[in-house]
Amino acid sequence: MDAILILDFGSQYTQLIARIVREHRVYCEIFPWNVDYDEFRSRYNIKGIILSGSPYSVNDSEAPIIRLESLIPSVPILGICYGAQMMAYLLGGKIKASEKREYGRARLATFSYDHPLFDGIEPGTQVWMSHSDTIVELPPEARLLSSTESIRVAAYEVPSRRIYGVQFHPEVYHTSQGKTFIHNFLNICQCKRDWTPASFIEDAIQKIRQQTNGKHAVMALSGGVDSSVVAALVTRAIGDRLHSIFVNNGLLRKNEFDSVLNTYHSLGINVKGVDACHEFLSALHGITDPEQKRKIIGRIFYEVFEREAKQLKDVDFLVQGTIYPDVIESVSVAGPSQTIKSHHNVGGLPSRINLKLIEPVRYLFKDEVRKVGKELGLPDGILNRHPFPGPGLAIRIIGEVTKERIELLQEADAIFIDELKKEELYDQVWQAFAVLLPVQTVGVMGDERTYESVIALRAVTSRDGMTADWARLPNEFLARVSTRIVNEIKGINRVVYDITSKPPSTIEWE
């Protein structure tokens, strides 16, 4: 299959490049600039290379500078920002810190209309710049393709080597015709556009069958999108030889365990529901520290999973729902970002489970996983559900987790989600949930004074959970949710709405 190789020099936008290439139905993978990609090359027909931006200047002594010989000579190369500067530098051009930094919007004042890279591009099109260096002298063989009002070299080519450089960022949203630029580059590379959810599924099924070779596999299901899609996919490949385990930790949303289990059954997934509520709850007794809660829940989960997995005979493989952003994060040039909270994901089982790994969506982004799920016939209820943390409601109950407090929170959360769905607001927010606070406040109901708990509502908009803003839900809507919660749940007499963004807050309260 045709593919594009993306080499990362530490740009914060590299994932965006990959997403656009794939939106054009061309497969691509990201590699750190200095990592050997022979294995990728042996599996795919590499038709072009894209070099990302970077926080470095090519003139820095420690700048990441690739050797020209390590690039496949016969394929077109697109350098973006630093990538463009580095190629110009390697071929004999000059790069200097510009007197005026150029950040933000710019317009392509002139460009070569008849050049395939500019096919369909409007005169004066808006592009996004983010650089402090600029190409002051092009290499001898290069041809200038475009300028903006502030810089001469906004795009160039080296025709003899099929090298193209753009100073702007076609991969970011604010470059109005960014997708067209990438599309044009893919045309220059003569890529076949045949990477679709259906072709991915077909390919994945074959690989899973080959890899398992008649043996059995086990996996943990969480009810979330990734593990559910993976289970459906692996079931297509090996049927009942996949043994899935869905643990009820007692910290799921109201009725969630039963409803998700039923969905799995209706999809033909061979799943065992394991009720371990009591085990989790007794281990959490008296614990109020969020990190300790996470650790305990992680530990009990592994114990339950291991116990169940050991009862299965002849299992050689462990299936996991790892997705591409997790993989990129751990191999990126910049290294894993700082851990603010120790996330416990069902996927990350400890190495003492001595099984070979199968990770069928390891190279997919979340929205691609959803598309694969849709193609596999998973219901929208699973595909569009909000992210839910591994430790579940335990980190939304501030203070001690008890059966009574879980039930209070489940009821409040169910009302909030129910109303969001009724008003068709559910799909407009990234995540929405209720939090049970450890304070009691005074209220009055009828002629009686009450002294009861407070519920906080949290709803955020976000692209990836890394940054988020509080959702501007209509006042009338919030009023209705508040009235229902206080009227319908005994033990709650006050509702507040969280109006902080991330940063400085986080999405969850613990």
Which residues are known to be catalytic?
A: 81, 169, 171
Shortest reach from residue 390's CB to ligand XMP, in Å: 4
Closest CB to ligand XMP among residues 126, 288: 288
Of the candidate spans 39-47, 383-391, 437-445, 486-494, the one that interacts with ligand XMP by CB under 6 A turns out to be 383-391
> Taking CB under 6 A as the rule, which mask of x and - marks residues 264-303 in contact with ligand XMP?
------------------------------x---------
| Dihedral, CA of residue 285, residue 290, residue 296 and residue 299, to nearest 10 | 160
Burial of 286 (0-12, 13-18, 19+ CB in 10 A): exposed
Residues 464-493 that bind ligand XMP (CB under 6 A): 465
Q: Shortest approach of ligand XMP to residue 394 CB, angstroms?
A: 9
Q: Per rule CB under 6 A, is residue 389 in the interface with ligand XMP?
A: yes
How does DSSP assign 367-418, residue by residue?
HHHHHHHHHTT--HHHHTPPP--TTGGGGGB-S---HHHHHHHHHHHHHHHH
H helices, E strands: number in the chain: 14, 18
Give exposure, 103-122, as e/b (b: 16+ Cβ within 10 Å): eeebebeebeeebebbeebe
Q: Which is nearer to ligand XMP, 337 or 475 (CB)?
A: 337
> How big is the site for ligand XMP, counted in residues (CB under 6 A)?
16
| CB-CB contact of 102 with 150 (8 Å) | yes
Nearer residue to ligand XMP within complex by CB, 180 or 322? 322
Nearer to ligand XMP, 107 or 502 (CB): 502
Please provide residue 373's backbone torsions phi and psi, each rounded to the nearest 5 degrees.
Answer: -60, -40
Q: Is 506 in the site for ligand XMP (CB under 6 A)?
A: yes
Query: Count of CB atoms within 10 A of residue 188's CB?
Result: 20
Among 25, 105, 192, 502, indicate the residue that binds ligand XMP (CB under 6 A).
502
Nearer to ligand XMP, 118 or 388 (CB): 388
Determine the longest span between alpha carbons in the chain, in angstroms: 88
Binding mask 420-459 for ligand XMP (x = CB under 6 A): -----------x----------------------------
- How are the residues of the chain apportioned to helix, strand and coil, as percentages rounded to the nearest 5? 35, 25, 40
Query: If binding is defined by CB under 6 A, does position 390 make contact with ligand XMP?
Result: yes
Q: Which residues bind ligand XMP (CB under 6 A)?
A: 294, 340-341, 343-345, 387, 389-391, 431, 465, 502, 506-508
